[in-house]
Structure 1
Amino acid sequence: MILRHITIDAENPYEIGKFWSTVTGWPLGDGDEPGDDEVLVAAPAPVPGMLFIRVPEPKSGKNRVHIDWVPTERTRDEEVDRLLELGATIHEDHRTPEGPGWVTMLDPEQNEFCVERSEAERSA
């Protein structure tokens, strides 16, 4: 079995897809454009893509599933700052003075995701 996509309900699939495309550096699916009801952020194999599908109802509570991200080119804190500039917000800050911990953030449609320390930070 292969995990093909992580599918996420969306109010505006194209706009939230553009946000995640910028965050990850992965392209939008071929032919995806404003107004589409489904928009793919195409990840490099074997990583599953992120598929955003328009739904009529607004988000009403905490996500039952969320994504944990580990930065590869920045520290956790640098990545959090970059994501804030792109339009994410901090939901819960679990960083500790000693360095460990993570930050739970919200994307522009209020979906939760976490940013953990980079591999370099964990190895230090």
Structure 2
Amino acid sequence: MRMVAKIGQVTFDCRDGYTLSRFWTQVTGYTEVPDDPNLPEHSQHFIGPDGKHPGLLFINVPDAKTVKNRLHLDLVPDTTRDEEVERLLALGATVYEDHRKEDGTGWVTMLDPEGNEFCVERSEAERGRH
């Protein structure tokens, strides 16, 4: 019998988990658990696809982020990469490093409102994978 472990969630230590959960809800379309909504006074804030696992968990911690993340999310948008970058900028993300190339390949490394890195890749359509 083969034994494996499933990923239940990706956890972010953060200063304001409620605010980050709201940001990432807009980014991913994930939702809270219907019977356990996230409130500003909570110390943990979970969002997932239809409120289920695997998802993202934001835990309030007292210390600020000081170094580059060792783990980050790579987003593949439904729209184009460039349209997604513009949408995320409007939500409060910032561009950290722009790795787009003249031939249309590449990605953009962005920061969420607390400075956590994530990347926006090309969409499946842009990669020719319909």
Gaps of 5+ in 1: none
In the alignment, does 2:59 pair up with 1:53? yes
Larger radius of gyration: 2
Which residue of 2 is the match for residue 35 of structure 1?
A: 41
Q: Conserved in 1, the CA contact under 8 Å of 2:17 and 2:60? A: yes
TM superposition outliers: structure 1 runs of 4+ over 4 Å: 44-47
Which residue of 2 is the match for residue 67 of structure 1?
A: 73
| Counterpart secondary structure, 1:68 | strand
CA shift, 1:118, in A, is: 0.3
Give per-residue Cα distances to partners, 1:66-93, cap 9 Å, x unaligned: 0000002x10000000000000000000
Gaps of 5+ in 2: none
For 2:24, the aligned partner's letter is W
Q: Conserved in 1, the CA contact under 8 Å of 2:31 and 2:51? A: no
TM-score by length of 2: 0.89
* Equivalent runs, 1:92-103 vs 2, <5 Å: 92-103=97-108
Distance 1:75 1:31 in 2: 32
CA RMSD of aligned residues (A): 1.6
Distance 2:88 2:69 in 1: 19
In the alignment, does 2:25 pair up with 1:21? yes
| Counterpart secondary structure, 1:52 | strand
Q: Conserved in 2, the CA contact under 8 Å of 1:106 and 1:112? A: yes
- Paired-residue identity, %: 52
Structure 2 CA distance for partners of 1:103 and 1:49, relative to 1, 3 Å: same
Q: Conserved in 1, the CA contact under 8 Å of 2:32 and 2:51? A: no
